[in-house]
Chain A
Amino acid sequence: MADLFDGYSLGQQWDEMFSAPGQPRSPYTGLFSSLQPMSGEELAARADVLSQTYRDAGVTFAHAGEEQPFPLDIVPRVIGHEEWAVIERGVAQRVRALEAFLADVYGAGEVFADRVVPRSVVTTSAHFHRAAHGLVPPNGVRVHVSGIDLVRDEAGDFRVLEDNLRSPSGVSYVITNRAAMSSVLPELFGDHRVQPVAEYPGRLLAALKASAPTGVVDPTVVLLTPGVYNSAYFEHALLARQMGVELVEGRDLVCSGGQVSMRTTDGQQRVDVIYRRIDDEFLDPVHFRSDSVIGCAGVVNAARAGRVTIANAVGNGVADDKLLYTWVPDLIRYHLGEEPILKNADTYRLDEPDTVEWVLASLDQLVLKPVDGSGGKGIVIGPRADQRTLEELAVKVRASPRDWIAQKPIGLSTSPTLINGRIAPRHVDLRPFAVNDGTDVWVLPGGLTRVALPEGELVVNSSQGGGSKDTWVISPPRPSLEPVPEHDVTRIEFTTADLPAEPPAQDPGPPNDNALAQSQQQQQAGPLQGPAASRRVAGGRGSSQC
């Protein structure tokens, strides 16, 4: 019998689902046995329904100015709970270290004095903003939301590819992917205990409220979007709706006297926390690009005056710079005194002439990334590049080595993906999202798995034609004492044995009153119905006589 996974080839890379042909890894056994009996046609038909729900709901990603449905692959990615525990701790550790580093950079600068990171790395970064120096957020949090990009190497270990501490996007797809999958393939969920993702907006709102200026009792949170033409507009709208906060554009905000307000139909209303999804450069024309019309003039000064909180904080970009990335393991040791739980990818800084020469000589075996690039732009994958690209790259690298880092190529793990009615391996990464509320770093179970749909493609970014997968984190089995308290509660509610034989004598009032009121209502309702009905009959007769 032809089965769905026939002809699924395993390459050099780690495969998420199979350890050997036909041998699913343990988190995948349930999924494998549910999917295997399905035919390719049936799965493809379900996939059509899936993409139709996305078109109807307008789950889109704007790519090159066009609104496009965001492709969701029908085969979920599964992460076992032990594996997830490592990711969870590793991501939280990284966020705490970067948080401490940012506080230091925009404060005392001890990390430079202790020679852990050269000061020049920070001051030459395009995302280092003097305007943020000395600006201490109310609860000390600068990285309210972060997305740490992970990939799995050939040995099956997760490694960090980059940190996103400014405004990482994609979390809305995590939420909608789950909702769509559970409506199209409900039976797959039956055999698994998948950790839910729907609490993210609530966690985010709580974290944003916790970061409000001191003394504000019930803070007003807004989400600042660049507008409907932004590529992630769908996400901004979804988060605003699910958090129940206003989605504002720059023109809705006004800042005067150090206070930010929004223009409403009832006049101006105070704003306490701005969850902004606008880049630093466009946020405030007073301090940054003066030609920005999507920001709000004066908002940074208001934040400095402690009247409004900007989340994520201004200037975070200095810590997710790709050059600084190479120092993050040192930062974890320096700030937290811990060993990094998640390793970096093997990366070379081009700060020594020898290294530059070596990199230039082996460009065809390395991946070169521009330090300031995002969204997969400008990355050159040496083994796949043609001669001309490499020559052009060599010129650029020689001209300004500070702008580049070099990495050994990682054979990104593959995951089974539905392509033209057949299951085929495609490369995936993982972006877990972390929310820091000042007391705890919470990591959303799962995160966004992005999949590169063209065969062999390694860049999974959604602006480069990538899709996504629903990502399941399997819950650990509950400890065995779990059913006892719940069971007790129901037993009390439904057992008559526990009730007193007779109601207490001194309290006969409420039931009697109630009964009286009910009987009065019934009496009143009776006579009322009569006349109303007869009036209707009379009216009908009257008009027919006319």
Chain B
Amino acid sequence: MLSRIAESLFWIGRYVERADDTARILDVHTQRLVEDPWIDEQRACANLLALMGAPCEPAEADTERVLATLAFDRTSPSSITGALSAARENARGAREVLSAEIWESLNVTHNALPQQRTMARRYGPHSLFRFVRERSAMVFGLADATMSRDESWLFLILGRSLERVDMTSRMLSTRVLAGDAAPSWTLVLRSTGAYEPYLRTYRGAVNSSRAAEFLLLDRLFPRSVFAALEQAEGCLAELERANVREGHRIGVAGEAHRIVGRARTMLEFMQTDEILAGLPTRLDELQRTCSAASEAVTNRFFTEQAPQIWVPEGAV
């Protein structure tokens, strides 16, 4: 398939997942501000902003600022609105590959954003978060139901998995790094949608090391870091299968595959205690793994020269 289209699909996967995860994080964050009487709003907001890569002066941090930056900023692809618009822009350039239903779903989502903003301003942001979660579920659900499992699907899912690794590790970081302004583990679990699966798995009260273990290492829960890495690895292996057939016998065929595989094996074969002891470093590493992997994917599959400029003879 065309490199340009592959790149669009990869980024659609990333942006939609990002919008979804950001909506989940913000939903939990705003609920916490309401429900927790002892919370230090300023610090919690400053922490969240720093973690999502949009740090600001601690004195200026408040919920208003958080929502403006992470939910409503139309220009930044790190905000919900921005990510959904970016996904739709990418889809517009890849319309002949996406199924018509996926395109329509992204387009409808994009068109409804102004109205959702107004509603969120008037009735609180919860409805927006719900809307975003539902729409991203719809996009991936339609992809699941209507896309062939060819390269286009692999790139979409690769993007989604890498973004998911990144976002889940960020959510873990909110808890690990923030000290006493940190959300409880229950909230972290809830924001990843992992609360109920966690309860069913461990049959009991939320315990910090178990919760971290669950979000990081669980093989079966699809939003855990491990599961997402494994999925990304699977996509990469499938994408590079041709190279393997052509006699590539040592190691893996691509740089991205190596990066992702190494992160996955680190989680898989390191002792759980050891991982948990150095959790902040591990999480930081994971986030860097994601950007390195994304870069490697770009270099391997999407590189595209700048348009050629033709200088006729004698024009110089």
Query: What residues of chain A have their CB less than 8 Å away from a CB belonging to chain B?
Result: 55-58, 223, 227-228, 233, 237-238, 240-241, 245-252, 262-266, 285-286, 290-294, 297, 543-544, 546
Contacts and interface: CB of A to CB of B under 8 A. Distances in A.
Contacts of B72: none
- Identify whether the interface residues of B are mostly helix, strand, loop, or mixed: helix
Given A56-B107, A57-B107, A297-B310, A265 B4 contact: no
A56 B100 CA distance: 11
Contacts of B1: 246, 264-265
A264 B2 contact: yes
A266 B107 CA distance: 30
Contacts of B270: none
Contacts of B293: none
Contacts of B274: none
B115 interface: no
Interface residues of B, number: 33
Nearest to B106: A58
Contacts of B97: 241
A251 B309 contact: no
Contacts of B4: 249, 251-252, 263
B93 interface: yes
B262 interface: no
Interface in B157-198: none
B215 interface: no
Contacts of B6: 265
Interface stretch (B12-20, B129-137, B300-308): B300-308
Contact of A57 (B3, B92, B104, B307): B104
A285 B151 contact: no
B301 A250 contact: no
A415 B97 CA distance: 38
- Identify whether the interface residues of A are mostly helix, strand, loop, or mixed: mixed
Contacts of B307: 250-251, 293-294
Given A57-B107, A251-B4, A266 B311 contact: no
A121 to B, nearest CB: 28
Given A247-B96, A546-B203, A290 B315 contact: yes
B200 to A, nearest CB: 9
Contacts of B151: 265
Which 5 residue pairs are nearest across A and B when measured between Cβ atoms? Answer: A285-B310, A237-B95, A240-B96, A293-B307, A241-B96
B112 to A, nearest CB: 10
Nearest to B302: A265
Interface of B: 1-6, 89, 92-93, 95-97, 100, 103-104, 107-108, 111, 151, 203, 239, 242, 301-302, 304-305, 307-312, 315
A404 B92 CA distance: 39
B2 A246 contact: yes
Contacts of A233: 92
Given A265-B302, A293-B307, 9 more contacts: A56-B107, A58-B107, A251-B4, A251-B305, A251-B307, A265-B6, A285-B310, A294-B307, A297-B308
B309 A291 contact: yes
A238 B2 CA distance: 17
Contacts, number: 86
Given A56-B111, A58-B107, A544 B2 contact: no
B85 to A, nearest CB: 13
B103 A58 contact: yes
Contacts of A247: 95-96
A248 B96 CA distance: 10
B104 A237 contact: no
A276 to B, nearest CB: 15
A292 B307 CA distance: 9
Contacts of B3: 252, 263-265
25 contacts: A55-B111, A57-B104, A58-B104, A223-B96, A228-B92, A228-B93, A238-B96, A241-B97, A241-B100, A246-B5, A251-B304, A252-B3, A262-B2, A263-B2, A263-B304, A264-B1, A265-B151, A265-B302, A285-B309, A285-B310, A290-B315, A291-B309, A293-B308, A294-B307, A297-B308
A459 to B, nearest CB: 29
A211 to B, nearest CB: 21
A256 to B, nearest CB: 11
Contacts of A250: 307
Contacts of A241: 95-97, 100
Contacts of A285: 308-310
A290 B96 contact: no
A300 B241 CA distance: 36
Given A56-B111, A58-B104, A58-B107, A290 B2 contact: no
Contacts of B89: 228
Given A55-B111, A249-B4, A266 B104 contact: no
Contacts of B203: 543-544, 546
A263 B311 CA distance: 23
- From A55, A237, A238, A265, name the one whose CB has the most chain B CB atoms within 10 angstroms: A265
A285 to B, nearest CB: 4
Contacts of A55: 111
A290 B311 contact: yes
Nearest to A67: B92
Nearest to B243: A266
A247 B5 CA distance: 9
Contacts of B107: 56-58
Contacts of A290: 309-312, 315
Contacts of B108: 56
A227 B92 CA distance: 10
A262 B3 CA distance: 9
- From B3, B6, B239, B311, name the one whose CB has the most chain A CB atoms within 10 angstroms: B3
A56 B4 CA distance: 25
Contact of B309 (A223, A227, A293, A546): A293
